[in-house]
Amino acid sequence: MVLLIEIDGSYCEGGGQILRTAIALSGITGKKTRIYNIRANRDPPGLKRQHLTGILSAKEICDAEVEGAEIGSKEIVFKPSTIKSGKYRIDIGTAGSITLLLQSLIPIAVFSDDKITLEITGGTNVQWSPTIDYYSEIFLYFLKKAGIDVKLEVFRYGFYPKGGGKAKIKIFPWKNRERIEFTERGEKKKITAVSIATKDLKNAEVAERQVKGFRRVLSCEKEIRYVDSYSTGSSITGIAYFENTRMGSSALGERGKRAEIVGREAGEKLKKEIETDGVLDRYMGDQIIPYMGIAGGKIVVSEVTDHLKSNIWVVEKFLPVKFEVRGNTVEVSTQQ
């Protein structure tokens, strides 16, 4: 019996992904875990506030014991106990990403005996993370296909630097575990651009101009929303709908950057995804790996990224499974 799982946080991409996946699988399996060299390839290394918030939230849900949980820490020990259903209020305290926080918490929550509700305050559309719109339209779509029911409601958007976005996430137990098979796209049905901007940008028609830029690359339907937020900001998320899958991309507005350029960048990213033979885009590819480790499956991704390789490595540390990567096809089998 393995008494302690050791995870080197400097492996491969060496970022927060390894930490989030390790915490999730520790919570699921009940295995005590030591994670060291945390975010070793980032500047500065160690825990930032959003990572610490994720660990402490998982601690509460798993009734865990934790050592080393403080900002800047490069090593923690996480010893989980029982996953507890109920309602949890979480405040990241910055514009730290809500969607990255959920990468640790949703896998744990689906193994609860009853529903878990998370009320989270933080960043909804911020750098280096999926937008909340991508999460809603793409990530949760794939979870539902795998038999996982998650409801997401956004009350306020959170942009950098103040954050303050508010979202409620209801996560139900994973009762009907489906093997995760995404190997055929089917016919393309439509492309939609979801363009978000804060209300103070309405007179400048920022959301409309983002769509205009997107349409210079791809024809699309549009969904335009002006929203409340504590900080000025905008984003655009492109979604390609196929018979059997969805692919996405996003771009964030920046001070001094024309809205048309933001939209064009999102369009170019999505066009690149569509032109591959992938069924899952490069962002969804790594996020589905922990669920494949549990349920089994086979996927075709647009790109085998370092994040995907990192997640495979961590999952194989915790579960008796073996992933095989052949070209852009990823398949998992149970080890005897």
Q: What is the pLDDT of residues 83-96, one digit of tens each?
A: 999 999 999 999 99
> Based on the structure, what is the number of domains in the chain?
2
Whole-number pLDDT of residue 46: 96
Whether 120 and 174 map to the same domain: the answer is: yes
Domain boundary among 178, 203, 222: 178
- 307 catalytic? Reply is yes
Q: Sorting pLDDT into bands at 50, 70 and 90, what band is 325? A: very high
Query: In the numeric block, which tokens belong to residue 133?
Result: 């719109």
- Indicate whether 72 belongs to any domain: no
Which residue type does 130 have? P
Whether 173 and 227 map to the same domain: the answer is: no
Which residue type does 11 have? Y
| Whether 40 contacts 9, CB under 8 Å | yes
Whether 171 and 251 map to the same domain: the answer is: no
3-state secondary structure of 227: strand
Kindly report the number of other CB atoms within 10 A of residue 92's CB atom.
26
Using the predicted structure, report yes or no on whether residue 108 has a pLDDT greater than 70: yes
Whole-number pLDDT of residue 3: 77
Whole-number pLDDT of residue 52: 96
Torsion over CA: 336, 11, 134, 300 (sign): negative
- Indicate whether 127 belongs to any domain: yes
Domain boundary among 226, 242, 273: 273
User: Please, what is the average pLDDT of the chain?
Assistant: 96
Question: What CATH number is given to the structural domain containing 153?
Answer: 3.65.10.20
User: How far apart, in whole angstroms, are the C-alpha atoms of residue 291 and residue 187?
Assistant: 26
List pLDDT tens digits, range 6-19. 999 999 989 999 99
Question: What CATH number is given to the structural domain containing 227?
Answer: 3.30.360.20
Whether 162 and 215 map to the same domain: the answer is: no
Whether 169 and 215 map to the same domain: the answer is: no
- Indicate whether 165 belongs to any domain: yes
- Residues 51, 57, 62, 66, Cα dihedral to 10°: 50
**HSE of 161, CA atoms in CB hemisphere, 13 A:** 1
> Does the predicted model carry a pTM greater than 0.75?
yes
Domain ranges, residue 111: 85-178
- Indicate whether 240 belongs to any domain: yes
Q: Where are the alpha helices (DSSP H) in the chain?
A: 16-29, 49-62, 98-109, 132-134, 140-145, 206-215, 259-274, 282-287, 289-295, 306-318
Whether 119 and 161 map to the same domain: the answer is: yes
Domain boundary among 178, 196, 221: 178
Whether 162 and 241 map to the same domain: the answer is: no
Cβ neighbours of residue 70 closer than 8 Å, sequence gap 6 or more: 47, 52
Whole-number pLDDT of residue 1: 47
Whole-number pLDDT of residue 334: 86
- Indicate whether 45 belongs to any domain: no
Whether 98 and 125 map to the same domain: the answer is: yes
3-state secondary structure of 49: helix
Length of the chain: 336
Q: Sorting pLDDT into bands at 50, 70 and 90, what band is 302? A: very high
- Indicate whether 150 belongs to any domain: yes
List pLDDT tens digits, range 16-46. 999 999 999 999 999 999 999 999 989 999 9
Mean pLDDT of 132-146: 97
User: How far apart, in whole angstroms, are the C-alpha atoms of residue 250 and residue 228?
Assistant: 20
- Indicate whether 239 belongs to any domain: yes
Q: Sorting pLDDT into bands at 50, 70 and 90, what band is 2? A: low
User: 34, 39, 269, 307: which one is catalytic?
Assistant: 307
| Whether 122 contacts 102, CB under 8 Å | no
Whether 199 and 162 map to the same domain: the answer is: no
User: How far apart, in whole angstroms, are the C-alpha atoms of residue 128 and residue 214?
Assistant: 20
List pLDDT tens digits, range 242-260. 999 999 999 999 999 999 9
Whether 202 and 261 map to the same domain: the answer is: yes
Mean pLDDT of 290-319: 97
β-pairing, 33-36 with 5-8? parallel
Whether 162 and 193 map to the same domain: the answer is: no
Q: Quick one: which of 234, 206, 238, 233 has its CA closest to 222? A: 238
- Indicate whether 133 belongs to any domain: yes
